[in-house]
Amino acid sequence: MGEESREDEYLLDTQTVRKFITDTRLAISRSRSPEQTIEAIRPRFAELLADEGWLPEEFQSVSAESGMGGGIGQWLIFRSGARDLSLFSLVVPPGSTTPVHDHLAWGLVGLYRGEQEETVFSRRDETRSVGGREELEPVVRRTIRRGDFYPLLPPKDDIHAVRTTSEVASVSIHLLANDTGCVWRHSYNPDTGEVKPFRSGYVNRSCEDEEATPRGDGGS
Ligand SMILES: [Fe+2]
């Protein structure tokens, strides 16, 4: 993997972003669990969502060639050298919906602009079979407004889809404990139970190991 040779990447290198990442790392170092870390970061994350001045327009724009499909832009803001922490924005055009997907790491997701409807799914069977089938049922459907945020804590509450319900694109801010755009995770078809390998990518950064397609399944 060559993790030692990787460095922190700030695609948006500002004082606000650096301070947020420094505070997040401090919280991680002082916490004994993802739950504790999330609790410690909550006030800082709320501040970031309330601050209207730090995220440039580019990071709030939709993208034609998106791994998520539907014009959805995923913009990397920061990722750590160890690829165990990332901050990115997700821009979902009006009416567009993400695939049903998982994240495979703890995190915080909050709304910066617009409005979304989030549907959270739970797994009926604990087995995870990529390329196989998985029965999902929707357990929560809720409206997420500007400033609202929620934790991701796998294996529970890790599978969801979001749809923009505002007339403008929604912009959500994600702090995740992995390199979410580049890890192979899963998309789900809740109607058929089909599970597919899924890598969303970033609009503004490529993944280093583009050849790493799991199970020989095309998964674009
Ligand atoms: Fe998500």
| Cα distance between residue 158 and residue 19, in whole Å | 27
* pLDDT for res 215: 45
Q: What is the mean pLDDT of residues 20-47?
A: 97
Ligand 1 centroid, distance to 161 Cα (angstroms): 7
Ligand 1 centroid, distance to 9 Cα (angstroms): 22
Residue 83 has which token pair?
């690829």
Ligand 1 centroid, distance to 160 Cα (angstroms): 6
Residue 203 has which token pair?
């609009």
* pLDDT for res 131: 55
pLDDT at 146 over 50: yes
Ligand 1 centroid, distance to 97 Cα (angstroms): 11
Q: What is the mean pLDDT of residues 140-168?
A: 95
Provide φ and ψ at 170, rounded to 5°: -90, 145
* pLDDT for res 128: 58
Between 129 and 58, where is the model more confident?
58
Ligand 1 centroid, distance to 52 Cα (angstroms): 22
Q: Which residues pair with 188 in a beta bridge?
A: 100, 195
The CATH number for 9-198, chosen from 3.30.2020.10, 2.40.50.140, 2.60.120.10, 3.30.420.40, is: 2.60.120.10
Handedness of CA 194, 157, 105, 55 (dihedral sign): positive
Ligand 1 centroid, distance to 6 Cα (angstroms): 25
Q: What percent of the chain has pLDDT over 90?
A: 80
Ligand 1 centroid, distance to 64 Cα (angstroms): 19
**Which residue bears the tokens 């060639």?**
65
Ligand 1 centroid, distance to 103 Cα (angstroms): 6
Residues in the chain: 220
- Residue 130's pLDDT band (boundaries 50, 70, 90)? low
pLDDT tens digits along 192-214: 989 999 999 999 999 987 655 55
Q: Where in the chain are the domains?
A: 9-198
Q: At what angle do helices 15-30 and 34-50 cross, to 10 degrees?
A: 160
Ligand 1 centroid, distance to 1 Cα (angstroms): 25
Mean per-residue pLDDT over the chain, rounded: 90
pLDDT at 157 over 50: yes
Q: What is the mean pLDDT of residues 162-167?
A: 97
Ligand 1 centroid, distance to 180 Cα (angstroms): 9
| Cα distance between residue 94 and residue 169, in whole Å | 5
